[in-house]
Each structure stands twice: as structure tokens, then as C-alpha cells.
């Protein structure tokens, strides 16, 4: 035991003499752990809240009985089912507005609520009594309470003036949901004796067949392990995970080179220890102990950094998820114990993986080491051939997945294989370029320059691979984001062609507003619209009713359409469908679609396909009159106005003062556009942030590799110095060499990055979101990235080069005396 401690002390003394090396090793491990766990924390946070949502009174986790076509149904069916032995509990759901915010109001019945309904909130400490007795209590998540800027115990008023029950905080509740007793909810939602659905608990005894009790008025929806939100947001989380994994791998590159360097430098020490009688096994055990301890320390620091990263990205992630999918994620990060353990484990596993080669060498270390073989070139040649073959195989696999794969996972698999293949192939390509340059060089120093660059390649290749990956992903992601933002703003211009948009609080107010607007000369057109919801193939579908007006005919962007598509909408037997829906249901122009409607199925012929970016639901656009005929119950409260732009602000303020409308339900085109653009920019803010992190980590990888090489290269440089090349010149040559290798890598990264962008746009986006963007290349952006990469390489090369330029001649002379 004491022996182990002594050996460990000897080994650790190395780090005391090389603190910089220790720092790089720790930085590598810390950044790998931090980015990986940061991303995991974000994903976990989001998943937890989906779980909360799914478990909230008839989320996807509970079996439910719902009305045909999703309509509400009479309460008597609940009583009838209970009397027939069905362990059901009623829920009524609707929306109410508080302070301009629209919130989901759930009415539950605590006495029959099945115990197994996930996190059914305990009904306040004050008990059942105060929850069910009017005025009752309104349970609210702490996040929503602070969003509303209200305090617990106050009884807020809804926007229509109704006094609501006093608020009571319930920590497990999903944000954006208010829970009240069913009787109170029916009154607030003006749905007397109506129910939205029934939760089905565990059967307690025999139950009469459903049809015998309710006929075909209700249908049973079996519980679903994966909620809609989880399905919708899968792509987003996969995206984050992919970035986390990439950063982790890049971080491990750093660890690998730092450990490699330490091992190289400790070779004499290890040999001495072996010569002193330490067995190879013991030595290896101690090396592993040392590594694991370092990984533990780095893991803990990495986790703290990961927490900070996650906490700083969380607002953007939450905004993205809300903007894209309507998912409510609490802004406060909560982490489970598993997260900490997983983070430490990943740090240790990563460190061990990165150290495998070095440890394997230590095992086979002969007691009396012979001189290092100089057959590096041959060895490298064999290695390059093997690695290139592997690269080709991986690239072939990428092509294969691209050809046969048809899912989001396969999209990411293509991306991963593409990047891995390119990274593996990189050393071979650089080698080809360098050997070509060597052959075309004539002056001795130039020939040496290229030859030496080739010799350096094996040491640098991992760092270069990291740089290639980081750059390619960077190019890919920024191209996609830029493409998206251009396409989106053009699309938004066409989509938001009217000048003012308003939603009346109810049909009566809508009628009043319309009558009032008819008197206003500045209003050029009133375009009522409406929305209905239904389900096709178990997925929610929106049906949008549009007025028959030139505003839409001239501006609404259609991706494909038949001739006179807009004219053909008029009779009500045709529809335009969103790109997402077309892809999901594999529909093309001319196909027919069966839409469940209250009076029976509505058959629509597809006459056009339009882009509907940012909408997780499929959408069908039809003529508004046809929609109200088929869905008579939909509120006719939405109105778009064409107004002379100069007159818009005045009209808005008169509407506001006359009808009490606010920013939530009355908005002009410019504000709406700005708001939409803001949401979409935030959507990619996280991607951009992770992108920058990855590039930073790649820079550190390059720096540590160069530091590693810097020391081991003295034997090669000393002879050149000895034959008269000054240290300054040597340093300049070294710098040039690094820069040219980095440039070659960067130039290779550009086409690879564009390929990644194509993959993201044409494969991943289509699978993840259901839309395909036109592919654009942005040369200026690429140029900028080359600049950034070269600057990173310059920064990374600067320290070793400056060290070389200022090196004491005595050190260079010593090379000839040293055993190396």
C-alpha cells in the first residue's frame, strides 16, 4: 500500500513541474463533462416538464374517454358510467384570460380522481373542503403565479371581468395551467353540465361494456407512454444531444493529447520506476488511479460548469420550446441525483477512453527501452492507409443510411457518419496535399518544411480532426440558420399581408366591432377568419378558414398549387394543406383528404400546398364560409383588416379604447412580424451558443496538441538551429507550418460544412419539423469563418512559437546531450 502511495507521489510530481499540462488535461475533461452534462440537464428539465404535463389530469399517461370529434358531452354520461361500474372521473377544460394572458383552465373532481393519475396535486392543506366549496381555490404553478405577477391568496379577475377563485400555489403543477374544482370550472367556462373528458382509473369490479352505457357518444383513448409533446420536441432534443456529444468528443481530443504528452514526458520516469522493481501491472494500476482521481476532480468542476451553462441557456431553450411547440418549461433549473452521478461517470469513462493508447503503451513498456525507432514514416503510412479505408467505409455507410433511412434518427446518423468519415479521412488528405507540396518544393528548407509538416501530422491529426468537425458543424449550422431566417422573413411578409389583426372576446363583440368598422372609411377590407381543430390519424389538425379576397390570392405563399387554386376554394370542397401535413400524410395535389367534422366526414380535394413554418400541427386552409358551415360552433371572432398603413395606428387606438382590446388580441402587422421573428431567432439561439462553445473547445484542442508537439519536436529543430537557422526564423517556419495545416483543414471544412448544411436542411429539418427550405450558400459567412478559424489557429500556435523564439540556446544544445 505504501508502495502505491510512493509511486503515485512520484508520478504526481510530474504535474507539479508542468502545471500548464495539468491545466490542459483538466480543461479538456472539464469542457467535455460540462457541455455534455449541460445539454443533458436541459433535456432532463424539458422531459420532466413534459412528464408533468402528460401526467396532469388526463395527459397522455391516463386512459380517457372523450367525445366523438373531441366535442364536449353531457355530465349525465359520467354518472351513467359510474353507475355501470366505470371508475371514471370528470374533467372540463377551456381557456381563460388573465391580464391578457391566455391560460388553460382545468376543472377536476378530486373525490373521484383516480389515485394513479400521476402527480395529481394534493388539494391544498386546507383540504377538500375549501377546494370544492365556492369560491373554491385555483391551483397554479409557482412559475405561472410569478408570470401573472400575482400573489398567493389573491382572487384575480378574468379579462372578461369574472371574479376567479383565490390562487393557491401547487409546485408540481405544469406552468400555464390553472386547476379548479369541476363545478367552478363549468361556471367560469360557461359550460354548465358539460364535460371535456373522463379519466379512467383502475377497474374496481366488473364494468358494463362502454357501448351499452353511452352508445357511440364516447370513445376510449388508451394511455400513451410518449406524450404528443415528447414526440414533437424529440427533434429539438436530439439536436441538443448531438451538439453535446460533439463537444464531448472534441473535449476528449484535448484529454487525449494532454495525456499523450504527459506519458511521453514521463517515459524516463516510468522506465526508472520499472528499473527500480515496480511491476508493469502495479505501474498501470497507479496510472489508472491517478487518472481516475483527476477525472473525479474535473468531473465535479465540469458538472458545476455544466450547471451554469444549462442555467444560462435555459431561458433560450424554454423560449424555443414555447415558440415552436407551445411546451411550457419552468425557468428554474432542477437537477436529479442521477444527473450528478452520470456526469462524474462520463468524465471518468471519457478520461479512460482518451488514455487507452498511453496505458497500453505503459503495459508493454520494456524495462530497458531501446532508442525510438525512426521508421515513423512507414508506421504512419500503414496507419494512414488503415484510417483512410475506415473513412471510406464510414462515408459509404453515410450514403447507405441516406438512401435507405427515413427517420430523424437516420438523419442524424447520416450527419454523424459524414462527420466521422471526413474526420478519419482528414489526415490522409492533408498527407496527400503535403507530399504533393514537398515534391514541388525545390529549396532545401522548403523541402524540409513540408517533410517536417508530414512528420508532425500524426501528432496533430487528432486536433485537426477536432477543428474540422467544429468548423464543419459551424458552417452547416450557420448556413441552415441563415437560410431559415431569410426564408422565414420572406414567407412572413406574404403570410401577414393584412395590416391589422384582431380577436374579439366573443361573437357578440365581434358583431359590434364589424358594425363599427363598416362605418370607418379607412378600412379597405374586413377579412374574417376562423379556426377549428380536429384529428386525423390521431394527430391534432388545425383547419383555418380564410376569406375569399385578393389579399390572400396575391400574397399567401403557395409552394405548389393547381391553376386557380384560390378560386377553387370557394365551393368548399377543396382545401390547401400545409407542407407538414402533406409530408406526414403523404398527400399531393389532387389527392383527397377526409376531415372529421361534427356533421360527418368532410372530403376535401388538395389544390395547393403552402409553407407553414413554426407550426407543430398540420393545417388545412379552406374557405371561411365552408368552414363555418361544417363547424358551426367555432367562434367567429378573428378578423384581419386591410387599412391604409398611415391610418393603422389611429384605428388601433380607437379600437382599443372603444372595445377594450389590448396587445393580446389587437395587433398591427409590424408588431406581429417582429414578434414572430423574435421567437424564431430565439429558437436557434441555443444552437448558435453551443456552436460557439464547440468551436472554442476545438481551439483549445489545437492549442494543447501544439503544446504537446512543441516539446517533443525539439530534437527535430535543434539540428536546424545548429546548422545556422536562427530561432526567430525557426519560430516563423513553425508558425507558418501550423497555419498552413490549419488552412488546409479549414478549406476542407467548408465543403464538408455545406454538406452538413444540406443534410440539416434536406434531411433533418424535413424529418424534425416537416418543412424543407430552399438551399442557399452565403459566401461572406464562409469567408468570415475561415478568418475565425485562422485566428484560432494563430492564437493556438502563438504560445509554443513564442516559447521557441525565446528558447535559451543552452536548451537546444542540451538536446544533443539528452538521451533522446
Partner 1 sequence: MRDKVLISRRAFTAGVALLGLGGNGARAQGFAGLGITAEGFSPVIPGKTFAFPEDHGPHPDYRIEWWYVTANLADTTGVAYGAQWTLFRLASRPGAQQEGWANQQIWMGHAAVTRADTHRYSEAFARGGIGQAGVDPKPFRAWIDAWEMRGSDRTRDHTIAPLELTASGADFSYALRLDTDRALVLQGDAGYSKKSERGQASYYFSQPYFKATGSIAIDDKPVEVTGQAWMDREWSTQPLASDQTGWDWFSLHLSSGEKLMLFRLRQTDGNNYASGSWILSDGKTEQIASADIDMVPKTLTDLAGRKIPVGWQISIPRLALSIESVALNTKSWMGTSFPYWEGPISFKGSHAGVGYLEMTGY
Residues that bind partner 1 (CB under 8 A): 75-76, 78-79, 82-85, 109-112, 122-130, 132-134, 181-184, 186, 192-193, 202-207
- How many other β-carbons are positioned within 10 Å of the β-carbon of residue 607? 23
For residues 296 and 208, the answer to whether their CB atoms sit within 8 Å is no
Q: Nearer to partner 1 by C-beta: 87 or 315?
A: 87
We find the least distance from the C-beta atom of residue 155 to partner 1, in angstroms, to be 17
112: buried, middle or exposed (CB in 10 Å: 19+, 13-18, 0-12)? middle
For the chain, give the longest Cα–Cα distance: 103
Q: How far apart are CA 244 and CA 560, in angstroms?
A: 38
We find the least distance from the C-beta atom of residue 166 to partner 1, in angstroms, to be 16
For residues 588 and 606, the answer to whether their CB atoms sit within 8 Å is yes
Q: Which residue intervals of 56-126 are DSSP H helices? A: 76-83
576: buried, middle or exposed (CB in 10 Å: 19+, 13-18, 0-12)? buried
8: buried, middle or exposed (CB in 10 Å: 19+, 13-18, 0-12)? middle
Q: Nearer to partner 1 by C-beta: 75 or 562?
A: 75
Q: Nearer to partner 1 by C-beta: 74 or 715?
A: 74
Q: How far apart are CA 673 and CA 681, in angstroms?
A: 12
776 φ, ψ to 5°?
Answer: -125, 150
We find the least distance from the C-beta atom of residue 75 to partner 1, in angstroms, to be 7
* Residues 245/250/254/260 CA torsion (nearest 10 deg): 90
- How many other β-carbons are positioned within 10 Å of the β-carbon of residue 293? 14
Q: Nearer to partner 1 by C-beta: 132 or 764?
A: 132
Q: Nearer to partner 1 by C-beta: 202 or 443?
A: 202
- How many other β-carbons are positioned within 10 Å of the β-carbon of residue 633? 9
Q: How far apart are CA 256 and CA 351, in angstroms?
A: 8
Q: Nearer to partner 1 by C-beta: 57 or 491?
A: 57
DSSP single-letter state for residue 764: I
Q: Nearer to partner 1 by C-beta: 123 or 750?
A: 123
Q: Considering only CA atoms, which of 306, 428, 360, 249 is closest in space to residue 40?
A: 306
Q: Nearer to partner 1 by C-beta: 188 or 581?
A: 188
We find the least distance from the C-beta atom of residue 50 to partner 1, in angstroms, to be 24
Q: Considering only CA atoms, which of 710, 666, 738 is closest in space to residue 811?
A: 710
Q: Nearer to partner 1 by C-beta: 190 or 382?
A: 190
801: buried, middle or exposed (CB in 10 Å: 19+, 13-18, 0-12)? buried
We find the least distance from the C-beta atom of residue 126 to partner 1, in angstroms, to be 6
For residues 428 and 744, the answer to whether their CB atoms sit within 8 Å is no
Q: Nearer to partner 1 by C-beta: 119 or 656?
A: 119
Q: How far apart are CA 20 and CA 262, in angstroms?
A: 11
We find the least distance from the C-beta atom of residue 348 to partner 1, in angstroms, to be 40
We find the least distance from the C-beta atom of residue 205 to partner 1, in angstroms, to be 3
**HSE value, Cβ hemisphere, 13 Å, CA-based, for 760:** 27
Q: Nearer to partner 1 by C-beta: 185 or 607?
A: 185
We find the least distance from the C-beta atom of residue 53 to partner 1, in angstroms, to be 21
Q: Which three cell numbers stand for residue 238?
A: 436530439
We find the least distance from the C-beta atom of residue 59 to partner 1, in angstroms, to be 19
Helix (H, G, I), strand (E, B) or coil at 523: strand
Q: How far apart are CA 106 and CA 93, in angstroms?
A: 5
Q: Considering only CA atoms, which of 750, 772, 753 is closest in space to residue 763?
A: 772
Q: How far apart are CA 779 and CA 512, in angstroms?
A: 54
Q: Which three cell numbers stand for residue 776?
A: 442557399
Q: Nearer to partner 1 by C-beta: 84 or 416?
A: 84
We find the least distance from the C-beta atom of residue 637 to partner 1, in angstroms, to be 29
Q: Name, in order, each residue with C-beta under 8 angstroms of 743's C-beta and a sequence gap of 6 or more.
A: 790, 793
We find the least distance from the C-beta atom of residue 48 to partner 1, in angstroms, to be 21
Place of cell 469567408: 783
Q: Nearer to partner 1 by C-beta: 111 or 795?
A: 111
- How many other β-carbons are positioned within 10 Å of the β-carbon of residue 360? 11
Cis peptide leading into 477, omega within 30 of 0?
A: no
We find the least distance from the C-beta atom of residue 162 to partner 1, in angstroms, to be 16
We find the least distance from the C-beta atom of residue 394 to partner 1, in angstroms, to be 55
Q: Nearer to partner 1 by C-beta: 79 or 379?
A: 79
DSSP single-letter state for residue 761: I
We find the least distance from the C-beta atom of residue 208 to partner 1, in angstroms, to be 8
User: Strand 574-578 to strand 602-610: parallel, antiparallel, or no bridges (unpaired)?
Assistant: parallel
Q: Nearer to partner 1 by C-beta: 213 or 250?
A: 213
Q: Nearer to partner 1 by C-beta: 121 or 260?
A: 121
DSSP single-letter state for residue 754: H
Amino acid at each position: 500500500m505504501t508502495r502505491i502511495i510512493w509511486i503515485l507521489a512520484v508520478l504526481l510530481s510530474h504535474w507539479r513541474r508542468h502545471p500548464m499540462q495539468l491545466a490542459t488535461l483538466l480543461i479538456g475533461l472539464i469542457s467535455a463533462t460540462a457541455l455534455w452534462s449541460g445539454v443533458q440537464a436541459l433535456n432532463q428539465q424539458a422531459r420532466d416538464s413534459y412528464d408533468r404535463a402528460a401526467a396532469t389530469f388526463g395527459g397522455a399517461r391516463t386512459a380517457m374517454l372523450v367525445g366523438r370529434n373531441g366535442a364536449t358531452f353531457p355530465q349525465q354520461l359520467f354518472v351513467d358510467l359510474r353507475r355501470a361500474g366505470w371508475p371514471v372521473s370528470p374533467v372540463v377544460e377551456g381557456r381563460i384570460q388573465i391580464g391578457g394572458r391566455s391560460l388553460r383552465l382545468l376543472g377536476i373532481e378530486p373525490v373521484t380522481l383516480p389515485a394513479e393519475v400521476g402527480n395529481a396535486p394534493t388539494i391544498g392543506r386546507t383540504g377538500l373542503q375549501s377546494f370544492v366549496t365556492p369560491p373554491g381555490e385555483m391551483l397554479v404553478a409557482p412559475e405561472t403565479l410569478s408570470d401573472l405577477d400575482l400573489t398567493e391568496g389573491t382572487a384575480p379577475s378574468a379579462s372578461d371581468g369574472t371574479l376567479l377563485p383565490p390562487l393557491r400555489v401547487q409546485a408540481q403543477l405544469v406552468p400555464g395551467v390553472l386547476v379548479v374544482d369541476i363545478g367552478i370550472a363549468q361556471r367560469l367556462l360557461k359550460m354548465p353540465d358539460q364535460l371535456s373528458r373522463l379519466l379512467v382509473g383502475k377497474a374496481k369490479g366488473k364494468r358494463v361494456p362502454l357501448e351499452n352505457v353511452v352508445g357511440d357518444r364516447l370513445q376510449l383513448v388508451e394511455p400513451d407512454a410518449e406524450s404528443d409533446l415528447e414526440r414533437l420536441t424529440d427533434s429539438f432534443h436530439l439536436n441538443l444531444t448531438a451538439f453535446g456529444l460533439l463537444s464531448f468528443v472534441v473535449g476528449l481530443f484535448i484529454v487525449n493529447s494532454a495525456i499523450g504528452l504527459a506519458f511521453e514526458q514521463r517515459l524516463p520516469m516510468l522506465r526508472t520506476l520499472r528499473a527500480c522493481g515496480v511491476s508493469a501491472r502495479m505501474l498501470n494500476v497507479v496510472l489508472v488511479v491517478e487518472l481516475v482521481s483527476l477525472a473525479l476532480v474535473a468531473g465535479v468542476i465540469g458538472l458545476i460548469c455544466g450547471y451554469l451553462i444549462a442555467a444560462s441557456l435555459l431561458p433560450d431553450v424554454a423560449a424555443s420550446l414555447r415558440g415552436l411547440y407551445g411546451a411550457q418549461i419552468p425557468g428554474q433549473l432542477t437537477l436529479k441525483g442521477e444527473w450528478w452521478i452520470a456526469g462524474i461517470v462520463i468524465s471518468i469513462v471519457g478520461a479512460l477512453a482518451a488514455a487507452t493508447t498511453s496505458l497500453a503503451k505503459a503495459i508493454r513498456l520494456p524495462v530497458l527501452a531501446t532508442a525510438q525507432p525512426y521508421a515513423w514514416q512507414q508506421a504512419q503510412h500503414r496507419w494512414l492507409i488503415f484510417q483512410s479505408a475506415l473513412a471510406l467505409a464510414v462515408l459509404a455507410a453515410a450514403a447507405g443510411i441516406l438512401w435507405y433511412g427515413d427517420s430523424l434518427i437516420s438523419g442524424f446518423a447520416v450527419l454523424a457518419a459524414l462527420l466521422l468519415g471526413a474526420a478519419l479521412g482528414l489526415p490522409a488528405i492533408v498527407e496527400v496535399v503535403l507530399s504533393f507540396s514537398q515534391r514541388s518544393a525545390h529549396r532545401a528548407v522548403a523541402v524540409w518544411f513540408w517533410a517536417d509538416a508530414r512528420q508532425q501530422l500524426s501528432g496533430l491529426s487528432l486536433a485537426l480532426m477536432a477543428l474540422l468537425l467544429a468548423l464543419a458543424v459551424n458552417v452547416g449550422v450557420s448556413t441552415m440558420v441563415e437560410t431559415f431566417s431569410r426564408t422565414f422573413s420572406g414567407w412572413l411578409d406574404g403570410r401577414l399581408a393584412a395590416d391589422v389583426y384582431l380577436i374579439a372576446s366573443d361573437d357578440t363583440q365581434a358583431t359590434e366591432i364589424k358594425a363599427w368598422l363598416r362605418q370607418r372609411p379607412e378600412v379597405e377590407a374586413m377579412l374574417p377568419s376562423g379556426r377549428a381543430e380536429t384529428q386525423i390519424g390521431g394527430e391534432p389538425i388545425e383547419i383555418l378558414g380564410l376569406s375569399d379576397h385578393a389579399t390572400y390570392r396575391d400574397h399567401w405563399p403557395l409552394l405548389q398549387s393547381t391553376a386557380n387554386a384560390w378560386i377553387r376554394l370557394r365551393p368548399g370542397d377543396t382545401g390547401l394543406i400545409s407542407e407538414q401535413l402533406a409530408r406526414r400524410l403523404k398527400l399531393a395535389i389532387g389527392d383527397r383528404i377526409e376531415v372529421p367534422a361534427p356533421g360527418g366526414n368532410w372530403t376535401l380535394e388538395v389544390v395547393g400546398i403552402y409553407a407553414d413554418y413554426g407550426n407543430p400541427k398540420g393545417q388545412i386552409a379552406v374557405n371561411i364560409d365552408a368552414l363555418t358551415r361544417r363547424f358551426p360552433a367555432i367562434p367567429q371572432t378573428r378578423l384581419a383588416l386591410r387599412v391604409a398603413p398611415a391610418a393603422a395606428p389611429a384605428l388601433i387606438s380607437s379600437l382599443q379604447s372603444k372595445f377594450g382590446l389590448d396587445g393580446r388580441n389587437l395587433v398591427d402587422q409590424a408588431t406581429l412580424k417582429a414578434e414572430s421573428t423574435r421567437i424564431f431567432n430565439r429558437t436557434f439561439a441555443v444552437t448558435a451558443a453551443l456552436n460557439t462553445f464547440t468551436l472554442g473547445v476545438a481551439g483549445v484542442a489545437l492549442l494543447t496538441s501544439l503544446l504537446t508537439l512543441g516539446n517533443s519536436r525539439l530534437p527535430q529543430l535543434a539540428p536546424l538551429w545548429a546548422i545556422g537557422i536562427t530561432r526567430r526564423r525557426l519560430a516563423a517556419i513553425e508558425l507558418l507550418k501550423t497555419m498552413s495545416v490549419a488552412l488546409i483543414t479549414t478549406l476542407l471544412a467548408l465543403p464538408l460544412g455545406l454538406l452538413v448544411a444540406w443534410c440539416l436542411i434536406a434531411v433533418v429539418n424535413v424529418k424534425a419539423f416537416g418543412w424543407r427550405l430552399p438551399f442557399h450558400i452565403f459566401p461572406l459567412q464562409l469567408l468570415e469563418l475561415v478568418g475565425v478559424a485562422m485566428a484560432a489557429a494563430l492564437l493556438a500556435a502563438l504560445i509554443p512559437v513564442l516559447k521557441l523564439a525565446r528558447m535559451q540556446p543552452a536548451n537546444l544544445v542540451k538536446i544533443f546531450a539528452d538521451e533522446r
